[in-house]
Amino acid sequence: MSAALTRAVFLDRDGVINHKAPEGEYIRTWTEIHFIPGAMEAVAFLNRAGYRIFVVTNQRGIATQKVRIEDLLDIHDRIQREFALRGANISQIYYCPHDVSERCSCRKPRSGMLRRAARDHRLDLQTSWMVGDSLTDVKAGEDAGCRSVLLAPRPPQVIPPSYAPLIAESLESAVPLILNLCDLDPRVVRAQSFELSRSCLREES
């Protein structure tokens, strides 16, 4: 009998686990990585709840030669090691190095990275989640068959009717939504504050 499939949470990188570079710029080296407070704790909590964590990130800077591939790999290796030191396991980081014009299958909003991870690690996409800070991330999750959480400090003005993401302020505040720890509207909701999620996490820890 084949082994059961595993559920996962896919995370965008910039804006989800670390702060973004200024508009129009790229994170080029490890020294430019600054983790978002609560991100490591959120990953550790999801690990304990039985989810494997994967990062899926568009890295167009490789194609435009603004970022060196060796520096990107160093950044990703260090991210995994830093998270592991806090008891937070990121199983693998997938990246798309292509430019928009290349029309590859891996660049979000396409779901190639999620589907590759599912093949590599026997993941059940139907019970998995995508967490990102743009509708591009939500679309990739939707195309892969996952549920999604959109990270937004303020409710978006417009969400296309085909999308039905939950909305949270941060990865930390997305955890109760993923684990259904809070009594919230199951359609389009917003975690009202970091304190809401922290109180939910404390009650379950």
β-partners of residue 14 are 18
- Cβ contacts of 87 within 8 Å, gap of 6 or more: 44, 47
Of the residues 12, 71, 120, 185, which is catalytic? 12
CA distances, 117 to each of 11, 101, 111 (Å) = 12, 24, 10
Q: Does the annotation mark 133 as catalytic? A: no
The order of strands in the sheet holding 166-168 is: 90-96, 52-58, 8-11, 129-132, 147-151, 166-168
| Long-range Cβ contacts of 48-52 (<8 Å, 24+ apart) | 49/179, 50/7, 51/7, 51/8, 51/9, 51/128, 51/129, 51/178, 52/6, 52/7, 52/8, 52/9, 52/89, 52/91, 52/121, 52/123
14 is catalytic: yes
Q: Which positions are annotated as active-site residues?
A: 12, 14
